[in-house]
Structure 1
Amino acid sequence: MKISTKGRYGLMLLVDLAQNDNGQPVALKTIAERQGLSEHYLEQLIAPLRNRGFVKSVRGAYGGYILAKSGSEITAADAILTLEGPLEIVDGEVDDGFHDLWDRLQESIRSVLSNVTLQDLVAMRERQQGSYMYYI
């Protein structure tokens, strides 16, 4: 199983919105520049996230996107499953004698994704960014 760029970039988009949540909408162009992603690709990802109620769009000259819920209410599973669809460890029904193993593995992945919020990911990112020492 592999999570595609849709899932990864969509999660990055949501984390960026959570990390820069000051009540003001953020343009996709700004997020694309901050994250080093394609604005055009983010435009394709934002629609399903908006349709599921995770982000709201704000029209106008200073428009953009804001989170529709707090970062503590949106999980990594919300983003990944919205953009990737159901996560399957193996394709189709497999009768190889390891059905229980595949089910347990799939449930473990779902559990991890369901127990990590955008707020958690913001904190992880900030810890990682703060752990570097720069010398001049």
Structure 2
Amino acid sequence: MKISTKGRYGLTIMIALAKNYGNAPLPLKTIANDYNLSEHYLEQLIAPLRNEGLVKSVRGAKGGYLLTREPKLITAADIIRTLEGPIRPVEEMDDEEPAKRELWKRIRDAVKDVLDTTTLQDLSNYDDSNYQEEHMFYI
């Protein structure tokens, strides 16, 4: 399964809103500027998130977007499914060998488990100060 820019940028929007949870509405322009993303593209992504009931819009000079639920109640799976569709590593194939079908099912279940158990609160509280990029060394 490959997550497209729709899923990645959608997560970015939702993490920004989670970090802002409990404060005034956050305009998409602010998110676009903070993350160096296209505001126009973010506008396209926010509509399905709003239609799914994950965010709500507030009009006016101090308007923007807010989460409809606490960040701990929204999972990464909620967002990815809304923007990307069903979670599956490959298209279902009736003529697939049973062993391969089982492998695809296990991969799908593992990915679903990670997405279903990772909340916006987890993502917004992530501290990347301890993150060390792994380096690949070649001889």
TM over 0.5: yes
Gaps of 5+ in 2: 132-139
Structure-2 separation of matches of 1:88 and 1:115: 17
Match of 2:134 in 1: none
Structure-1 separation of matches of 2:88 and 2:120: 23
Match of 2:80 in 1: 80
Map 1:9-28 to 2 at 5 A. Answer: 9-28=9-28
Instruction: Read off the aligned partner of 1:74 and give its amino acid letter.
Output: I
Aligned mate of 1:104, from 103, 106, 116: 106
Gaps of 5+ in 1: none
Match of 2:135 in 1: none
- Secondary structure, in 3 states, of the residue corresponding to 2:73? coil
Structure-2 separation of matches of 1:96 and 1:109: 21
Q: TM (normalized to structure 2)?
A: 0.88
Contact 2:89 2:104 in 1 (8 A): yes
Structure-2 separation of matches of 1:113 and 1:88: 12
Match of 1:122 in 2: 124
Instruction: Give the deviation of 1:88 after TM superposition.
Output: 2.0
Instruction: Read off the aligned partner of 1:96 and give its amino acid letter.
Output: E
RMSD of aligned alpha carbons: 1.3
Match of 2:31 in 1: 31
Over 6 Å off, 4+ runs:
none
Aligned length: 129
Q: TM (normalized to structure 1)?
A: 0.90
Match of 2:70 in 1: 70
Percent identity of paired positions between Structure 1 and Structure 2: 54
Contact 2:21 2:70 in 1 (8 A): no
Structure-1 separation of matches of 2:97 and 2:110: 20
Match of 1:113 in 2: 115
Contact 2:6 2:45 in 1 (8 A): yes
Structure-1 separation of matches of 2:88 and 2:116: 15
1:4 equivalent in alignment to 2:4: yes
Instruction: Give the deviation of 1:23 after TM superposition.
Output: 2.7
Structure-1 separation of matches of 2:9 and 2:104: 26
